[in-house]
Amino acid sequence: MKRNLLVLAISLLFMACTVKPSKINYGSDHCHFCDMTIVDKTHASQYVTKKGKPYMFDAIECMVNDLSKNNNEDNMAFILVSDYNKPGTLINAKEATFLISEKIKSPMGANLSAFNSKKIAEKYLQENGGKLFTWEQLKVKLSQ
Amino acid sequence: MAIESLMKNNTKTIYTFIIVAFLLFENSAFATTINVCSSCEITSIKEAVLIAKKGDTILVKKGIFKETQINITKAVHIIGENMPILDGENKTESIFAVSTDNFTISGFKFINVGLSYTKEIAGVFISKSTYFKVTDNVFENVFYAFILQRTKYGLIKHNQIKGSAKSEVTSGNGIHLWKCSHMRIEQNTISGMRDGIYFEFVSNSHISNNRSMDNVRYGLHFMFSNHNEYHHNEFKNNGAGVAVMFSKFIKMHHNTFHFNWGTASYGLLLKEIYDAEINDNVFEQNTIGINIDGCNRINYKNNHFIRNGWALKFTGGCYANVFEFNNFMHNAFDLSYNSRLNDNKFEANYWSEYTGYDIDKNGIGDVPFRPVKLFSYIVNKTPEALVLLRSLFVDIINFSEKVSPVFTPDNLKDNKPLMKPVNPIN
C-alpha cells in the first residue's frame, strides 16, 4: 500500500514536470507581445520554452515578432499556431502552411493565417488570393 | 445705367428662382415613397429595394421581416415605422449589405445575426460608401452590429447595441470600422460585445457621446488609426476600458473611464502612441488608470485620477510626456515606474498624498512631491508582495526612500505640487 502511494506520488511529480502546451483562456489571457486580450480563436498562437513556461499571443505575427526580437527560437519546446480551418486547435508552426491574404484579416494587421495542410491552404488561396509561406519563409517576410 | 444693372440683377434673381423651383419640383415629382408591410402591395424589403429608384424612400411598417442579404446598391432611404423587426434567423449572412452613396437606414430592430469565425457578418454591412447615415436602430443578439469598410463621410448615430456575451470569443464588435475616414460615431450605447467600437486604419474621425459598457474586451479600440478624436464618452465595466495602439495624433478629452477591474485591466491602455492630447478625463476605480507603454510626446492636462489601484503605470520607454494640472486622489499608487531614468515632466498637479506645507500661501507646496513609492518597484518585481501594502514595514521603506531617493529617479518629482485640487468634481 505504502509502496503504491509512493509510486503514485513520484509519477504525479513527473507528470507535473512534463513540458506541454497549455490551454489558452480566450477572453482573459493577454498577448505576451502586444498586451491585447486574446479573443481570436483563428489566430491565437503560443510557444512553450524548454523549461515548460508557456507564452500566449493574440496573433501569429506577434509571436513571430517576439521570437525574432529575442532571437530565442532554439529555446522553445513548442511553437504553435491556430489552424484557421479548425478554430481553437493549435498546430505545429514549423509544419504549418501560412497564408497572407488581404481578404482574411488577422488581429495585428498582417493578414496572416495558418493551415494544417497545404491542400486546404491552397483552397483558401484560390478563394481569397494572396500568397503562401512556409515557417522559414514567413520569418523572412515579417522581418522585412 | 442704374436701371440697366437693376434689370440685370432682376433677371439673375428670376433665373435663380426658376432653377430652385425646378429642383424642388423635381424632388417632389420623382422621389416616391414605397410602403412595405405584411398587408401592403409589397411585402418584402428586398422587393421594395428592387423596384425603388434613386432617392426614393422605403417606409417599412411594424412587423417581423425574416430577410438577410438585402443588397442596397442605389441611393435609397429605408425607414422603419414603429420599430419593425429584421430577423436574421442566425444565418451566416448580413441583414443589410450596402455599397452605395447617399443612403439612410433608420428605425429598425435587428435580431439574430449568426456568427462565423471566418466570415464577416453584421446587422449592417457597409462597404465603399460615402455620405450616409444609419440612425436610431436597435441591435440584439447580433454577431457584429456594424461592419464598415472603406467608407467616408458617414454618420452612425443613436443606435443601441446589446450583445449576448455569453462566451467572450463568439462575439463580434459593436461598431467595426476598417480603412474608413471622416466618420462620425455619436450617441450610441453598446454593451455585451467583444470590442464596443473598433477602429483599424481609420483617420479623421470623431467618436462622441457614446456609452460603451460590459464589453468582453475593450470599450473602444484603436489600431493603426491616426488623427482621430474621441470625447464625452463613457467607458464602464469593460474587460478593459479603451486601448489605443500604434496610432498618432489622437485627441482624447472629457471621457469617463470607470470600474474596469481585473488582474491586468485598465481604464486606458496606450501602446506606442505619439503626439496625443489627453485632457479633462475622469479615471475612477480602475485597476490601472492608464497603462503607458512606449509613448512619446503626450500632454496630460486636467485629468482626474480617483481611487484607482495604479493611477499611472509606465512600462517600456516613454519620453517627453507632460503631466500638468491633474488631480491624483486616493489611489493606492499614483505612479509606477519601470526605469531609473526619467524624461517626463510632472508639474503643478494635485496629489492627495502630499503632506508638505505652503508657508508663503501661494497655493503651491514648498517642498517637492515624489509620486513614485519604493514599494511600487517591489510590487512590479513580485506582484504577490501587494498583500503588504498597508503594513508598517512598507510605510517605513517608503518613507526612507522619500527622504533619500536611491531607487527612484532623482528628478521624478513634482516641484510645484498644488495644495488644492484643480476643478474638483463631485
Convert the pLDDT of each residue in B352-392 to its tens digit. Answer: 999 999 999 999 999 999 998 888 888 888 888 888 888 89
Which grid cell sits at B199?
477602429
Among candidate residues B243, B250, B154, the one with its CA nearest the CA of residue B203: B250
- Is A9 a domain residue? no
User: What is the pLDDT averaged over residues B136-161?
Assistant: 95
- Is A11 a domain residue? no
Among candidate residues B132, B139, B75, the one with its CA nearest the CA of residue B108: B139
Q: d(Cα B320, Cα B326) in Å, to the nearest integer?
A: 17
Closest partner residue to B169 among A27, A34, A108, by Cβ? A27
Tell me what the pLDDT averaged over chain B comes to. Answer: 89
Q: d(Cα A44, Cα A113) in Å, to the nearest integer?
A: 10
Closest partner residue to A35 among B167, B223, B293, by Cβ? B293
A109–B117 C-beta distance less than 8 A: no
**For the ranges A96-100, B82-86, B289-293, B372-376, which has the lowest average pLDDT?**
B372-376
What are the residue ranges spanned by the domains of chain B? Answer: 45-238
Q: Give me the pLDDT at residue B340, please.
A: 74
- Is A2 a domain residue? no
- Is A110 a domain residue? yes
The pTM score is 0.84
- CATH homologous superfamily of B45-238 equals Single-stranded right-handed beta-helix, Pectin lyase-like (2.160.20.10)
Terminal CA-to-CA distance of chain A, rounded, Å?
62
B216–A39 C-beta distance less than 8 A: yes
SS3 B312: strand
- Is A108 an interface residue toward B (CB < 8 Å)? yes
Residue in chain B closest to A87 (alpha carbons) equals: B117
Q: Give me the pLDDT at residue A12, please.
A: 59
- Is A44 a domain residue? yes
More confident residue, B29 or A113: A113
* Contact residues on chain A for B118, CB-CB shorter than 8 A: 42, 84, 87, 104
CA A19 to chain B, closest CA, distance in angstroms equals 24
Inter-chain Cβ pairs, chain A and chain B, closer than 8 A: 46
CA B216 to chain A, closest CA, distance in angstroms equals 7
How many domains are contained in chain A? Answer: 1
- Is A141 an interface residue toward B (CB < 8 Å)? no
Residue B125: partners with Cβ closer than 8 Å, 6 or more residues away: B94, B96, B97, B98, B146, B147
Closest partner residue to B117 among A87, A105, A108, by Cβ? A87
Q: pLDDT at residue B7 above 80?
A: no
- Structural domain for A101, as ranges: 21-143
* Contact residues on chain A for B383, CB-CB shorter than 8 A: none
